[in-house]
A and B are shown apart, each in its own frame.
Chain A
Amino acid sequence: MNNIYMPERGEILSIVQESSIEWLFKVKTTIKPLAGQFIQLSIPMVGEAPISVADCNHEEGWIEFLIRKVGKVTDAVFNLKPGDSIFLRGAYGNSFPMDTYKGKRVIVVAGGSGTAPVRPLIKQLIDDKKTDIELIFGFKDQDSILFKKEIDTWRKKAPMILTVDKGCGIDGECVGLVTEYIPHLRLNEGFDNLEVVIVGPPMMMKYSALEFLKLGIPEEKIWVSFERNMSCAVGKCGHCKIDETYVCLEGPIFNYVKAKKLLD
């Protein structure tokens, strides 16, 4: 029997600062996650934390994690350097339903560190020439903008609105919340061929979804990603349970039809 709690060793390949508070850790591993899944990252003597996959390459054998110093494990990660060992368990959770998105028009709305879990999704959707993709990214301020180089690359391939909450004097960019820019999207072509992915802070996801609903987009076309205290990640410890749903097992990606019923 496979021991579901036993982590495996990975090696830190690089650590790159992405924003004023977030760093991107690249880890060599044999684990092959799908877009939207998460990994239990652990440091013996400190503990475990669920971190979403910010990118991965199955052939080259690595995963990237966007990490902010906000807890016991994430604090300790910052004591490590390239070449050091870190331990991984997973990949866990469901993933973005790529088959549903393929060949359609996909709007991705991401806020703050929510851009990390959608990054592998965006890369795959842009690579798939048949899928038409449109992006809205929202960040707190200019220093919080993540994946700047990639955003520039994506901008050449897909229509994009990049907005910051506060005026910060970036030329040509928008100021305000992502919700304000949702009505600016091309939404007059009918909704049959459309899917909307929203990932970010809970309030941002809620109000963005409401904005799309207001514009007449059916609930089943909207997808969100939940963040919880996923402690065991295998449906035993109960920390992430909402109603009969274990976010670690059935999530973190939920269709809005289900997500709107996950009340806490």
Chain B
Amino acid sequence: MKKLLTNDEFNSVLLNLSKEYDIYAPVTLPFKGTFSDTDLVKYEKITTLEEINLKDKSYYSAKEILLPIRQTIFYFNENEFKKPEGRTKKALVILRSCDLHAIEKVDNIYLNNKFSDEYYADAKKMVKFAVMGCPGKGWESCFCASMGTNKTDNYNLGLTFKDGEVYTDVKDEELLNFFDAGKNEEFEMEFVTENVEKVTVPENIVLEDIINGEMWRDYDRCIKCGRCNFVCPTCTCFTSQDIFNRDNSKTGERRRVWASCHVDGFTTMAGGHEFRQKSGDRMRFKVMHKISDYKKRFGTHMCIGCGRCDDACPEYISYINCINKLSKKLGDKDE
């Protein structure tokens, strides 16, 4: 059902919704940015429309709502393991089209990669998604149109924000109960159709052809900080950690914590042997995962073209340039 609400009416909807749902959206956290006097835009709980940052791209994605940075797998004491209680309150996440596509990519790994992860599955059951369009051609490093993630109709709630008004497309029956205000109004969801950045993804890459390429050596200047992985909405890797309580060393918890294929230690085996020691080889591994390996396994590219990796890199390494360079190289080979 499509409806037009004033901002005040929409705020009443949010207020009622927040009794049953934690509502998450990109918000501005003043002075929390990487550099002094800079702000951070990330997903946080909101209760009013005014709190949502509608004009900027969020630095972090919405994935941490389903896949927390640190998640307790179980608590233990001398006698038993106990799984913690998961999300008890439902959640509504207001996000962009590319980020919703990212959730579908994460689903493949956490739900469909032979085993189903019950922590993720339980959280996913509690979450609904509200999609909002992006301004103009998106932001500087966006290339969602190239990745085909600029549009979606796989949402529970569609939102288009105009001056003082909100156009809503309520697809979810349960959410409909909260939308008795406003008037019926036909409209089309507005999505980005073109970005400034255009990326050509080479298809059917044979790893043998590119693994020893000289181009990867350009990326040996990567400082292995892993920021690109942590801001990526589709990066899903983690490492397990056991923590014990300082005042009772017989009790503790096993956690999983976000991990990065760029950071030292990711492939280290007992005894110290490590695969992909050079930064450039780690870049190659990540890039191949995003535009080749994942597709071989799940039939769709993993990268959703949000460009956050380019935004976050302290060495100004451009993943976009890397893919285009690779594409040109493989194209040249065919000529």
A contacts, CB < 8 Å to B: 1-7, 44-49, 68, 70-71, 73-74, 227-229, 231-232, 234-239, 241, 243-244, 246, 249, 261, 263-264
Q: B31 an interface residue at 8 Å Cβ cutoff?
A: no
* Cβ contacts B68-94/A at 8 Å (1 or 0 each): 000001101000010100000000000
**Which residue of B has the minimal Cβ distance to A48?**
B240
CA distance A140 to B207 in the complex (A): 34
Residues in B whose Cβ lies below 8 Å from that of A73: 270
Chain A hits for B293, CB < 8 A: 241, 243-244
6 closest pairs, A vs B, by CB? A71-B270, A238-B237, A244-B296, A235-B113, A234-B115, A70-B271
Number of A-B contacts (CB under 8 A): 106
CA A246 – CA B236 in complex, angstroms? 14
Q: Across the interface, do B208 and A1 meet the contact criterion of CB distance under 8 Å?
A: no
Where the two chains meet, the residues of B that have a C-beta atom closer than 8 Å to any C-beta of A are 73-74, 76, 81, 83, 109-110, 113-118, 121, 207-208, 211, 236-244, 249, 252, 254, 256, 259, 261, 266-271, 275-276, 288-289, 292-294, 296-297
List residues of chain A with CB within 8 A of the CB of B249: 45
**A70 and B270 form a contact (CB under 8 A):** yes
With contact pairs A235-B114, A236-B236, A244-B297 given, residues A261 and B267 touching in the complex (Cβ less than 8 Å): no
- In the complex, the answer to whether A249 meets B207 with C-beta atoms within 8 Å is no
B243 and chain A: residue at smallest CB distance: A45
Chain A residue nearest to B73 (CB atoms) is A5
Docked CA distance A238–B296 (Å):
16
- Asked whether, in the complex, the Cβ of A235 is within 8 Å of the Cβ of B115, the reply is yes
Could you pull out 21 A-B pairs where Cβ atoms are within 8 angstroms?
A: A2-B118, A3-B83, A5-B254, A44-B252, A44-B254, A45-B76, A68-B271, A71-B270, A227-B269, A229-B268, A234-B115, A238-B236, A238-B261, A239-B239, A239-B259, A241-B289, A241-B293, A244-B293, A263-B207, A263-B211, A264-B276
Q: For B81, what are the chain A residues with a Cβ–Cβ distance below 8 Å?
A: 6-7, 44
In the complex, which residues of chain A have a beta carbon less than 8 angstroms from the beta carbon of B110?
Answer: 236
Q: Tell me whether chain B's interface is mostly helix, strand or loop, or mixed.
A: mixed
Given contacts A1-B121, A241-B289, A246-B113, contact A44 B271 (CB under 8 A): no
A261 nearest CB across to chain B (Å): 7
B254 surroundings in chain A (CB, below 8 A): 5, 44, 47
CB-based nearest A residue for B266: A239
| Cβ distance B167 to chain A, nearest Cβ, rounded Å | 38
Contacts A44-B76, A236-B110 given; indicate if A261 touches B207 (C-beta within 8 A).
yes
Nearest B residue to A201 via CB reads: B273
Q: Are A236 and B207 in contact (CB under 8 A)?
A: no
| B-chain residues with CB within 8 Å of residue A49 when the two chains form the complex | 270
Out of A74, A232, A244, which one reaches B294, CB within 8 Å?
A244
* A243 with B240: CB separation less than 8 A: no
Residues in B whose Cβ lies below 8 Å from that of A236: 109-110, 113, 115, 117, 236, 238
A237 and B269 contacting across the interface, CB-CB below 8 Å: no
In this complex, the member of B110, B267, B270 whose beta carbon has the largest number of chain A beta carbons within 10 angstroms is B270
- Could you list 9 further interchain pairs (A-B, Cβ under 8 angstroms) beyond the known A237-B256, A241-B289? A46-B242, A70-B270, A235-B109, A235-B115, A238-B236, A238-B237, A238-B261, A239-B239, A263-B211
**Shortest CB distance B64–A (Å):** 16
Closest to A234 in B: B115
Contact B207 A237 (CB under 8 A): no
B240 adjacent to A237 (CB under 8 Å): yes
